[in-house]
Amino acid sequence: MRYLKNAFELYINSSIHVSLAVVAFTLITFFQYNGKIDIELILFIFFASVTGYNFVKYAGIAKLHHLSLAKNLRYIQVFSFISFIALIYLAFQLEMRLIIASGILAILTLFYAVPFLGENKNLRSLPGIKIFIISIVWAATTVFLPLIQAKEYLETDILVDFIQRFMLVIVLTLPFEIRDLRYDDEGLGTIPQKLGVYKTKVFGFSLLGIIFFAELILSSFSTSNFLSLTLILLLSGMLLWKSRKQQKKYYCSFWVEAVPVFYLGIYWVIEHCLPQIPF
């Protein structure tokens, strides 16, 4: 049992879990636009997520007091290095337009972590901006990159999808910010610090409502997209509502971060079972 627990902690702390969540969102975009799944791009996004998250968490920059570093930090460092090498290799397999787009997101991630605005000042330290940087990077990675690969033109539906994904990531990040109220410096100006826990939840539910109604106006509306999104909005709302400053250890780092994986699973089931359901 001890070995299983250690393996699970390594799985979480090495950012494999959150990277699979990013991949799940990316696959949803491929499926929704009937694009051919590019395995090299999927692997690139996975290793880029591992590299980026582990850099932010373990480079001694982010003050994540709530995260007790894994006993096997050395394994995480080795895994991160291997992921970085894989990332570089896969980058050479991508087309230039993808490399440019990924480079812009990489610079944004770098500035999020590295103090370039003076002593200990980075994008993360700017009041109220942290959650929006995270959401922009997630949404751009999981919506724009696969569509750039599929050579889709920027249309209204794609912009709506981007905004929906951006808002959903904000909602999924709010439980983390509620948890981190005990640790975050007041100068960060996070949404829970500004609004309080209850109003933060109301804000999150408002975003979920906007996402829901935005889905209804899409010209590419489909039943499977709508049903899977509706279910995941309900799940996200439930997880947000149950968020507390005092949370179980893996409430956010496992269950909340698993929402994109649940989303992918629900979408796949509905897409394959829906034709058999009489209406």
What's the pLDDT tens digit per position in 90-134?
999 999 999 999 999 999 988 887 777 666 777 777 778 889 999
The range of the structural domain enclosing residue 72 comes to: 2-276
d(CA 144, CA 142): 6
CB 69 within 8 A of CB 58: yes
What is the Cβ-side half-sphere exposure of residue 103, based on CA atoms within 13 angstroms?
Answer: 9
What band does 63 get if pLDDT is binned at 50, 70 and 90?
Answer: very low
HEC states along 247-272? CCCCHHHHHHHHHHHHHHHHHHHHHH
d(CA 72, CA 60): 16
What is the reported pLDDT for 48? 97
In this predicted model, which residue has the larger pLDDT, 192 or 183? 192
pTM (two decimals): 0.91
Domains: count for the chain: 1
In this predicted model, which residue has the larger pLDDT, 220 or 206? 206
